[in-house]
């Protein structure tokens, strides 16, 4: 490969620890930390690691995680072991903290959760100290975890912990979530403050799609004394949304939000389950369209924390996150769309060996988002922005 040069005029930092990658949620569980290994192999095969400052992430300390999480939840997380899943004297706690099929207890769980959380906290601190302009942690983005509850494959809410760090330096932080699921844990954590504006794009079907929250009219408790009222925005979508509509919607909404709210930092959750052909998702986005949202967010030149999230077809997750890394280091137009021969696990990318296989044609899902529906979403959200001040 040829080393990718450093981007001109700004610094990008990469936060990772390979010890996250070998964790296993269990036999048929869709969350596969191996997708991080694939992502890293692509990034390195393209020589992109030369364009960034590389930081080996440490585990978040118990005290750092207690900035958001309850200590009785953390104590449980720290001591629970897989054999407790069957034990009757743990069943009350397991139920109370929402452990089960979605959130199993697996070997090294506390290590896994504290490592991905440490990555996001470190990334946020690099931005605060002005040692980085764009900080990336693909192992983070676990947006469903609650103060005292695991949820939707998420145990510790690294995004909330990262935003809490950014709030030490920035009066206002904006959170953008393009995972196919609603970013409920982050929304709820900042439900009562006007210092964080959360915006989630997601598939919404109250009764049939997890987590069932994130309706258009769900914008924070509208109590007159709640400063956080109106500071949660939701973009509920139906099955099958395609590239051009999604990009146009993202630009219209995010452009208006940034110019109104004037955030000092942006956190972007890049859940890759919004891609076409995802095992759990139902949108029809190609890698380029998912990446176009990252590219647009970067154009504001605001300190940017980029995290991963969902994504259940590992070969496509790694394609998207490698492409997005190239966008962030300003090298998208110089990398070869044919996946290099030297990539470890290259067999995962056949038969096309392309960074951009046409995902939208591979599994046709009818687009249930009419132009009129999308236009009404934009109109309604722009009206909601009138309640928000920068």
Q: Kindly indicate which of the ranges 9-17, 22-30, 109-117, 374-382 contains the residues binding ligand ZLV, using the contact rule CB under 6 A.
A: 22-30
Q: Quick check: 152 binds ligand ZLV (CB under 6 A)?
A: yes
Give long-range contacts, CB 8 A cutoff, 24+ apart: 17-23. Answer: 17/56, 17/57, 17/58, 17/115, 17/118, 17/119, 17/139, 19/111, 19/115, 20/112, 20/115, 20/116, 20/119, 20/139, 23/106, 23/107, 23/108, 23/109, 23/111, 23/112
Q: Quick check: 104 binds ligand ZLV (CB under 6 A)?
A: no
DSSP-based three-state secondary structure for 186: helix
Q: Which does 200 bind (CB under 5 to 8 A by kind): ligand ZLV, Zn ion, Ca ion, none?
A: Ca ion
Q: How many residues bind Ca ion (CB under 5 A)?
A: 4
Would you list the DSSP string of 33-68? THHHHHHHHHHHHTTGGGGSEEEEPPPPPHHHHTTT
Closest to Ca ion by CB, 104 vs 309, is: 309
Positions touching Zn ion (CB under 5 A) are 179, 181, 271, 273, 310
- Is there a catalytic annotation at residue 182? yes
The total of other beta-carbon atoms located within 10 Å of residue 84's CB is: 16
Strand order of the β-sheet with 196-203 is 53-56, 12-16, 134-137, 304-307, 265-269, 173-177, 196-203, 232-237
One residue of 35, 40, 202, 384 binding Ca ion per CB under 5 A: 202
Q: Quick check: 179 binds Ca ion (CB under 5 A)?
A: yes
Closest to ligand ZLV by CB, 154 vs 302, is: 154
Question: One of 69, 170, 182, 230 is an active-site residue; which one?
Answer: 182
Closest to ligand ZLV by CB, 116 vs 261, is: 116
Closest to Ca ion by CB, 155 vs 210, is: 210
DSSP-based three-state secondary structure for 113: helix
Q: Quick check: 74 binds ligand ZLV (CB under 6 A)?
A: no
The answer to whether 55 touches 15, Cβ cutoff 8 Å, is yes
Q: Kindly indicate which of the ranges 37-45, 125-133, 151-159, 223-231 contains the residues binding ligand ZLV, using the contact rule CB under 6 A.
A: 151-159
Binding site for ligand ZLV (CB under 6 A): 28-30, 101-102, 142-144, 152-154, 179, 181, 210, 271, 273, 280, 309-310
Binding site for Ca ion (CB under 5 A): 177, 179, 200, 202
Catalytic residues: 182
């Amino acid at each position: 490969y040829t080393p990718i040069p450093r981007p001109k005029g700004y610094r990008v930092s990469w936060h990772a620890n390979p010890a996250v990658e070998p964790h296993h949620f269990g036999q048929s569980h869709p969350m596969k930390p191996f997708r991080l290994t694939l992502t890293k192999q692509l990034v390195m095969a393209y020589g992109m690691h030369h364009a960034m400052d590389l930081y080996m992430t440490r585990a978040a300390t118990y005290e750092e995680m207690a900035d958001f999480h309850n200590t009785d939840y953390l104590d449980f997380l720290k001591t629970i072991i897989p054999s407790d899943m069957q034990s009757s004297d743990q069943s009350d706690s397991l139920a109370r903290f929402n452990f089960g099929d979605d959130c199993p207890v697996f070997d090294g769980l506390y290590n896994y959760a504290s490592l991905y959380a440490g990555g996001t906290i470190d990334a946020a601190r690099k931005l605060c100290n002005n040692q980085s302009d764009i900080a990336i942690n693909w192992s983070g983005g676990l947006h469903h975890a609650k103060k005292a509850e695991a949820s939707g494959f998420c145990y510790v809410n690294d995004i909330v912990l990262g935003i809490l760090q950014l709030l030490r330096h920035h009066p206002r932080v904006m959170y953008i979530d393009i995972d196919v699921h609603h970013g409920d844990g982050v929304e709820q954590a900042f439900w009562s403050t006007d210092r964080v504006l959360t915006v989630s794009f997601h598939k919404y079907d109250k009764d049939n799609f997890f987590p069932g929250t994130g309706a258009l009219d769900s914008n924070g408790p509208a109590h007159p004394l709640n400063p956080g009222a109106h500071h949660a925005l939701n973009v509920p979508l139906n099955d099958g949304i395609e590239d051009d509509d999604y990009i146009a919607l993202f630009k219209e909404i995010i452009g208006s939000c940034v110019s109104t709210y004037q955030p000092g930092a942006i956190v972007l959750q890049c859940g890759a389950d919004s891609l076409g052909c995802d095992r759990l998702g139902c949108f029809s986005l190609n890698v380029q369209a998912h990446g176009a949202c990252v590219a647009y967010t970067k154009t504001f030149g605001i300190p940017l924390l980029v995290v991963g999230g969902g994504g259940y077809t590992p070969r496509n997750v790694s394609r998207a996150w490698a492409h997005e890394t190239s966008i962030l280091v300003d090298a998208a137009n110089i990398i070869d769309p044919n996946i290099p021969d030297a990539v470890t696990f290259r067999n995962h990318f056949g038969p096309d060996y392309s960074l951009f296989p046409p995902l939208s044609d591979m599994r046709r899902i009818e687009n249930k988002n009419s132009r009129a529906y999308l236009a009404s979403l934009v109109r309604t959200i722009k009206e909601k922005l009138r309640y928000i001040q920068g």
